[in-house]
């Protein structure tokens, strides 16, 4: 694979024989020629690979490069293989078959197809790379040269099997499956497109709530991607952050937004988290503990404060939040960060990690979840955990079918918050985040729940005694 280096910069400026290029580069040049496109950006040939200064300067411009491009080519089939853009797959699930569905006197002509034809693009190894997520979202148009040809813009996601657009099984939005995964689409302010019930007041507030939600969705997908270098965690989405900030006009804090900081704090690591970079490398500092970027694992964002609960109460107040940048890029790497807030910190008294509630069922896990996937069924050695309640959600009617005439059943109120450990610093009451917790609370708790989670039985959500603490 040819690369632009400081030693061959002058040579490459004079030109290259197209025969000396890999098939994927040569076919990309030929395809551009057929489309009457005069300029082609190839990272390996446009970034001086052994110049940190050049790479850093160009990385800060990557958002503009992809946003202003006519089209982005993704050679999904050629990843790790000596292939060009166009491949002949011959895979059976790239075809549809006609069938007739009969019910009583009705005959309906239908077409059957494999669901893999819709999920294949997002499952390609290339699409799991952190940098590629930004490329896909920012470029106005994309063509994916995989086992089947796919194409995408802000209005349409299609492939060879469904050239008029991929079908949707339901109205639920699934980015990159039934809805184009483009930033222009995600930043749409249509409340129907938001896919969530958002009860807010003024129009600007409603718009921003949707934008904040969109950012968390982007982070959720990005955190599941692979990165070759830990330092890329913020640069690889800096272009996306800039585009979001053009709409939000907010302060960016290590992957979170100041205007949505409380909800942004409530992320959780995925149950099956695994490191998303080479395991033989030492874990280096990437972000403060309260940022999702501090965890070297697949991360799932927990949404908090979407307006789904009519009487939810936020139990903390953010006083100040700041980060120290490693360079000049306000969306780039950080060397440290802190949040000063007021809330109530309590020492944990019982240990129930991932306790499955017998009343609420297997789908509702209450208890504690550590950010470090190494500790799923035990405490972190040498750590005394503290609890910081963040949100209280009132009791609600159980959404299960009940026999007529039987009394209604209710889910207990819930308190969710952060699991912390004390940090020995010059500043008093300083903590690091180490996980999250969910506690049942109130009159609808079962006897088993009260015994298992006694920590907040005396908490009054409307009159919380608070103290100032610092999260680092």
* Final residue before a domain boundary, out of 281, 305, 329: 305
pLDDT confidence tier of residue 142, bands split at 50, 70 and 90: very high
pLDDT confidence tier of residue 280, bands split at 50, 70 and 90: very low
* Final residue before a domain boundary, out of 261, 278, 305: 305
Domain count, the chain: 2
Q: Please tell me whether residues 285 and 329 are part of one structural domain.
A: no
Rounded mean pLDDT of the chain?
82
Query: What pLDDT, on the 0 to 100 scale, is given for residue 355?
Result: 53
Q: Please tell me whether residues 292 and 268 are part of one structural domain.
A: yes
Look up the domain containing 438 and give its range: 318-471
Query: What pLDDT, on the 0 to 100 scale, is given for residue 310?
Result: 55
pLDDT confidence tier of residue 196, bands split at 50, 70 and 90: very low
pLDDT confidence tier of residue 195, bands split at 50, 70 and 90: very low
pLDDT tens digit sequence for 48-66: 988 888 888 888 888 899 9
> Quick check: 432 and 471 in contact, CB under 8 A?
yes
* Final residue before a domain boundary, out of 254, 283, 305: 305
Q: Please tell me whether residues 268 and 345 are part of one structural domain.
A: no
Query: What pLDDT, on the 0 to 100 scale, is given for residue 269?
Result: 80
pLDDT tens digit sequence for 391-449: 988 887 665 555 566 667 777 888 889 999 998 876 789 999 998 888 888 888 878 77
Q: Please tell me whether residues 388 and 268 are part of one structural domain.
A: no
Q: What pTM was estimated for this model as a whole?
A: 0.85
pLDDT confidence tier of residue 19, bands split at 50, 70 and 90: confident
Residue 229 has pLDDT above 70, yes or no: yes
Is 170 a member of any domain?
A: yes
Q: Residue 210 class from Cβ within 10 Å (0-12 exposed, 13-18 middle, 19+ buried)?
A: buried
Residue owning tokens 């500790």: 375
* Higher pLDDT, residue 143 or 90: 143
* Higher pLDDT, residue 101 or 355: 101
Residue 159 has pLDDT above 80, yes or no: yes
Is 101 a member of any domain?
A: no
* Higher pLDDT, residue 324 or 380: 324
Is 357 a member of any domain?
A: yes
Q: Please tell me whether residues 190 and 329 are part of one structural domain.
A: no
> Quick check: 133 and 222 in contact, CB under 8 A?
yes
pLDDT confidence tier of residue 456, bands split at 50, 70 and 90: confident
CA–CA dist 135, 472 (Å, integer): 32
Region 328-339 average pLDDT: 93
Q: Please tell me whether residues 190 and 41 are part of one structural domain.
A: yes
Region 96-125 average pLDDT: 83
């Amino acid at each position: 694979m040819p690369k632009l280096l400081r030693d061959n910069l002058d040579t490459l400026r004079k030109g290259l024989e197209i025969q000396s290029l890999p098939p994927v580069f040569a076919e990309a040049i030929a395809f551009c020629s057929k489309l009457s496109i005069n300029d082609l950006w190839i990272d390996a040939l446009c970034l001086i690979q052994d110049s940190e200064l050049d790479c850093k300067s160009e990385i800060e411009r990557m958002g503009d490069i992809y946003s202003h491009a006519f089209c982005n080519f993704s050679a999904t089939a050629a990843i790790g293989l000596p292939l060009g853009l166009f491949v002949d797959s011959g895979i059976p699930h790239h075809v549809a078959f006609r069938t007739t569905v009969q019910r009583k006197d009705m005959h309906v002509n239908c077409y059957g197809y494999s669901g893999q034809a819709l999920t294949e693009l997002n499952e390609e190894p290339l699409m799991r790379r952190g940098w590629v997520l930004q490329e896909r979202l920012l470029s106005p148009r994309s063509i994916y040269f995989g086992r089947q040809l796919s194409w995408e813009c802000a209005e349409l996601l299609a492939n060879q099997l469904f050239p008029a657009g991929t079908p949707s099984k339901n109205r639920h939005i699934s980015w990159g499956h039934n809805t184009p995964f483009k930033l222009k689409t995600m930043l749409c302010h249509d409340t129907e497109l938001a896919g969530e019930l958002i009860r807010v007041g003024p129009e600007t507030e409603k718009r921003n709530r949707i934008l904040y939600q969109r950012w968390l969705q982007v982070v959720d997908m990005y955190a599941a991607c692979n990165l070759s270098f830990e330092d890329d965690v913020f640069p690889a989405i800096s272009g996306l952050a800039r585009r979001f900030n053009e709409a939000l006009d907010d302060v960016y804090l290590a992957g979170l937004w100041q205007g949505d900081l409380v909800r942004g704090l409530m992320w959780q690591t995925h149950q099956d988290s695994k490191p998303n970079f080479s395991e033989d490398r030492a874990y280096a500092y990437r972000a403060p503990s309260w940022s999702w970027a501090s965890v070297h694992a697949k991360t799932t964002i927990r949404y908090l404060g979407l307006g789904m609960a009519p009487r939810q109460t936020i139990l903390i107040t953010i006083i100040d939040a700041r980060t120290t940048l490693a360079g000049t890029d306000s969306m780039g790497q950080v060397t440290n960060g802190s949040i000063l807030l007021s809330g109530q910190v309590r020492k944990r008294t019982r240990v129930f990690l991932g306790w499955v509630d017998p009343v609420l069922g297997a789908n509702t896990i209450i208890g504690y979840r550590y950010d470090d996937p190494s500790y799923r069924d035990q405490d972190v050695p040498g750590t005394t955990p503290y609890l910081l309640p963040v949100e209280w959600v009132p009791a609600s009617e159980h959404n299960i079918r009940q026999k007529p005439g039987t009394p209604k059943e209710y889910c207990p109120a819930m308190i969710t918050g952060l699991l912390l450990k004390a940090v020995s610093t010059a500043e008093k009451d300083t903590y690091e985040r180490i996980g999250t917790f969910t506690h049942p609370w109130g009159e609808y708790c079962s006897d088993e729940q009260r015994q298992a989670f006694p920590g907040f039985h005396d908490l009054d959500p409307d009159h919380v005694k608070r103290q100032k603490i610092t999260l680092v």
